[in-house]
């Protein structure tokens, strides 16, 4: 399944947006560009202006962001359809041992029954505008790379704070649409009273679990319903009994007849990050260095966690979410490596770039203008490779090992919060501070000292093997040989208090000096390690600034070369992509067809998790009780659909719409090879997966017995 990689502020990511020439099915198009697509020629049967119209109500107004995912408003009373995996936290939170909604599913019989989805917000895009000039007026031509990056980052924060001051209750964000070139200011409304309405049991919503994750054919009923509420005055309000359902400007029509193979579809959503048109040297670095490093490390961590889980049921519960999250990335990255190899993506990218290089060399003017941009980019990644192990270890020391992560975060926060708000790291700005501390405290619940020690030890052993000149001096106190490290760690884990919530809460109000005086071994380690971690952050910013400038140039050269229009890479802003219901050939002598069925659920059912379908589902399937939701050709209820639209992480929960703009599915995953979508789109392999609306409706009606929800959506039984 796909989780959005949340970038709180655009520049914090090392993500480097670039442009793509228009192609048949490739591209996550900003709404402002879709008029160039001629979607009607491609199969759309409604005017493009009914999809997107900045001056009037259009389909995009029916799309929201919820829980890091995309959601669709599907009724006049604020009913929202999204993925089960996006609702997971809310369902878990509402569950008790007596009322286990994860296991049994949840249905609110009426509005009073709907339970609060704590921590969930619904984000609605109110407007957006070009602020490129305002952002870029902060930089001067001769600026050094690091200074330039910081200047842009600071200006963006100023714009955000300025806008939020002007529109109380709204949130502002500035997205970098074209690296170092174009910036857009988005203004959002956040609805804060979100309630859970219906969720299938996890035996449906997670059917296939990790085994089927990133896999087609798929049989997961990955959907849930929420409802957004506002104050009696219609304005966003905290959860309250007096709140009323939100009445959206627009909601999507559900199409119970669904789609068939070959049908045109399009998708709205908030795709996270793609790196389609980065340099070949970038992909080479990713493929050869970074991804294998992540795969090896995640695989090793998963193994440790599974070992701990085997012998300790309590630990198993604690580490389960981490295993799930690591496994998701682990499988995704392995898929990427396979996909890149299979599509020969690196070779193609290099060939493209050779042509660009020849084009530059062919004119004195261009040689003067673009100079050695390709070599300079390659040099940046070459330099990154030289210190990649060191950087990886420093990152993991403050992220992967809990005790040190907590100590580092409280000290980092204390240091940052001494600065003026606008100069702080985004997470420590006032507008984000509550969320940051909530997350930190919540993370203490899953602390497991034995496992944490194993992970930290491995990182320290690797750090001790760094070449001279790259050693991390602060770690020397914990030993160099594995046995000494083991002994020292046994001691420090025995005495530290960084997993104690009261202790950590107290630290959050202390000054850096106060913290530095504390006699806790992990606090002391974090303080002495701080210069190293800050130096890395500084180096990253310098690199980002350098890349920022180089990619600006690279972009110009490429535009010159192609003489074509561009679409920016995805960056968590609203996009449209389109394609058709289409199978693919995952392997020699294998054809995957694009619609799975209820019979497939029965076929996969083993009675053992994750293939343990509810008894009632099996009975309904056994007597072919399909209602009106069978596909006429397949004579069976479609469960999931496959299509060649262009999606990535963040598209979870995105509505899949038919040629008439009606909802026919809820996007939730990609086929394994399509994990390469982050780097490139392949007509042969780029396939995304939605739960079919017929399965959504069939499960809601036949197993949930929630005829009232179908009625609310205007669907006859």
Catalytic residues: 85, 222, 652
3-state class of 611 per DSSP? Answer: strand
**For a copy of itself, which is the closer residue by CB, 160 or 640?**
640
**For a copy of itself, which is the closer residue by CB, 161 or 618?**
618
Q: CB of 158 within 8 A of CB of 422?
A: yes
Minimum distance, C-beta of residue 216 to a copy of itself, in the bound complex (Å): 7
Residue 356: name the closest of 287, 280, 286 by CA: 280
Minimum distance, C-beta of residue 473 to a copy of itself, in the bound complex (Å): 37
**For a copy of itself, which is the closer residue by CB, 409 or 596?**
596
- Can you spell out the DSSP letters for 433-496? HHHHHHHHHHHGGG--HHHHHHHHHHHHHHHHTSPTTS--GGGGGG-SSHHHHHHHHHHHHHH-
Q: CB of 155 within 8 A of CB of 134?
A: yes
Half-sphere CA count of 387, side-chain side, radius 13 A: 16
Strands (E), 110-257: 115-116, 122-130, 170-178, 182-191, 193-199, 224-230, 244-245
**For a copy of itself, which is the closer residue by CB, 216 or 285?**
216
**For a copy of itself, which is the closer residue by CB, 222 or 520?**
222
Minimum distance, C-beta of residue 354 to a copy of itself, in the bound complex (Å): 20
Minimum distance, C-beta of residue 595 to a copy of itself, in the bound complex (Å): 7
Minimum distance, C-beta of residue 69 to a copy of itself, in the bound complex (Å): 25
**For a copy of itself, which is the closer residue by CB, 518 or 620?**
620
Q: CB of 252 within 8 A of CB of 657?
A: yes
Which residues fall within 8 angstroms of residue 608, CB to CB, at 6 or more apart?
none
**For a copy of itself, which is the closer residue by CB, 218 or 227?**
218
Minimum distance, C-beta of residue 587 to a copy of itself, in the bound complex (Å): 6
- Rounded to 10 deg, the angle between the 291-311 and 313-342 helix axes is 150
Strand partners, 658: none
Residue 596: name the closest of 701, 689, 673, 687 by CA: 689
| Integer Cα distance of 207 and 222 in angstroms | 8
Token pair, residue 264, equals: 């045109």
Residue 570: name the closest of 26, 171, 25 by CA: 26
Q: CB of 545 within 8 A of CB of 150?
A: yes
Q: CB of 541 within 8 A of CB of 12?
A: no
Q: Is the peptide bond before 217 cis (omega within 30 degrees of 0)?
A: yes
Minimum distance, C-beta of residue 589 to a copy of itself, in the bound complex (Å): 4
* Long-range Cβ contact pairs of 620-625 (< 8 A, separation 24 or more): 620/702, 620/703, 625/702
**For a copy of itself, which is the closer residue by CB, 133 or 311?**
311
Chain residues binding a copy of itself by CB under 8 A are 216-217, 219, 342, 583, 587-597, 599-600, 603-604, 642
**Which run of H or E residues covers position 584?**
strand 584-587
Minimum distance, C-beta of residue 215 to a copy of itself, in the bound complex (Å): 11
Residue 586: name the closest of 655, 647, 675 by CA: 675
């Amino acid at each position: 399944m796909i989780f959005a990689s949340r970038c709180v502020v655009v520049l914090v990511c090392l993500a480097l947006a670039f442009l793509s020439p228009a192609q048949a099915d490739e591209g996550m198009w900003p709404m402002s560009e879709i008029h160039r697509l001629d979607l009607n020629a491609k199969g759309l049967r409604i005017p493009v202006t009914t999809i997107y119209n900045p001056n009037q109500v259009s389909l995009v107004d029916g799309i929201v962001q919820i829980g890091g995912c995309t959601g669709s408003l599907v009724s006049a009373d604020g009913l929202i359809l999204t993925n089960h995996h996006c609702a997971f936290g809310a369902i878990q939170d509402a569950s008790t041992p007596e009322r286990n909604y994860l296991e049994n599913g949840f249905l609110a019989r009426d509005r009073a029954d709907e339970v609060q989805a704590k921590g969930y917000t619904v984000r609605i895009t109110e407007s957006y505008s070009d602020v490129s000039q305002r952002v870029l007026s902060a930089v001067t031509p001769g600026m050094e790379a690091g200074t330039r990056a910081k200047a842009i980052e600071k200006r963006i924060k100023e714009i955000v704070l300025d806008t939020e001051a002007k529109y109380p209750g709204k949130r502002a964000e500035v997205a970098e649409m074209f690296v170092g070139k174009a910036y857009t200011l988005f203004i959002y409304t956040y609805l804060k009273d979100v309630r859970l309405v219906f969720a299938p049991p996890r035996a449906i919503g997670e059917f296939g679990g990790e085994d089927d994750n990133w896999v087609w054919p798929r049989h997961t009923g990955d959907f849930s319903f929420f409802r957004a509420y506002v104050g009696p005055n219609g304005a966003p309000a905290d959860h309250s009994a007096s709140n009323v359902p939100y009445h959206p400007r627009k909601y999507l029509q559900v199409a119970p007849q669904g789609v068939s193979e070959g049908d045109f579809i399009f998708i709205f959503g908030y795709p996270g990050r793609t790196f389609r048109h980065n340099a070949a040297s970038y992909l080479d670095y990713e493929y050869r260095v970074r991804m294998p490093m992540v795969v090896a490390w995640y695989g090793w961590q998963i193994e440790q966690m599974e070992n701990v889980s085997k012998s300790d049921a309590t630990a198993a519960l604690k580490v389960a979410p981490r295993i799930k999250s690591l496994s998701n990335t682990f499988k995704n990255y392995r898929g990427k490596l396979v996909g890149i190899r299979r599509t020969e993506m690196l070779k193609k990218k290099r060939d493209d770039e050779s042509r660009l290089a020849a084009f530059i060399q062919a004119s004195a003017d261009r040689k003067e203008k673009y100079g050695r941009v390709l070599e300079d980019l390659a040099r940046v990644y070459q330099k990154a490779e030289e210190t990649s192990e060191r950087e990886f270890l420093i990152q993991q020391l403050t992220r992967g090992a809990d005790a040190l992560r907590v100590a580092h975060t409280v000290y980092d926060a204390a240091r940052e919060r001494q600065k003026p708000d606008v100069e702080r790291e985004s997470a420590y700005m006032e507008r984000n501070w509550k969320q940051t501390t909530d997350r930190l405290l919540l993370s203490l619940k899953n602390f497991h000292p034995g496992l944490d020690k194993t992970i930290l030890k491995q990182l320290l052993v690797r750090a001790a093997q760094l070449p001279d000149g790259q050693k991390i001096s602060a770690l020397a106190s914990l030993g160099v040989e594995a046995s000494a490290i083991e002994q020292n760690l046994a001691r420090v884990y025995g005495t530290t208090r960084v997993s104690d919530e009261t202790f950590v809460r107290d630290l959050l109000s202390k000054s850096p000096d106060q913290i530095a005086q504390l006699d806790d071994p992990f606090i002391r380690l974090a303080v002495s390690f701080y210069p190293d971690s800050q130096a890395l952050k500084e180096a990253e910013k310098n690199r980002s600034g350098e890349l920022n400038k180089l990619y600006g140039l690279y972009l110009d050269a490429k535009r010159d070369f192609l003489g074509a229009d561009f679409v920016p890479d995805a960056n968590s802003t609203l996009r449209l992509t389109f394609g058709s219901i289409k199978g693919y050939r995952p392997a020699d002598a294998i054809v995957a067809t694009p619609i799975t069925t209820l019979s497939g659920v029965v076929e996969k059912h083993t009675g053992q998790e994750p293939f343990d379908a509810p008894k009632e589902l099996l009975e309904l399937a056994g007597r072919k009780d399909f209602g009106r939701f069978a596909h006429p050709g397949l004579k069976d209820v479609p469960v999931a659909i496959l299509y060649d639209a262009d999606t990535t992480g963040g598209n979870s929960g995105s509505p899949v719409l038919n040629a008439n703009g009606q909802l026919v599915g809820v996007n939730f995953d990609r086929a394994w090879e399509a994990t390469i979508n982050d780097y490139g789109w392949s007509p042969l392999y780029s396939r995304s997966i939605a739960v079919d609306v017929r399965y959504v409706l069939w499960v809601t009606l036949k197993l949930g017995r929630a005829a009232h929800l179908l009625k609310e959506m205007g669907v006859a039984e």
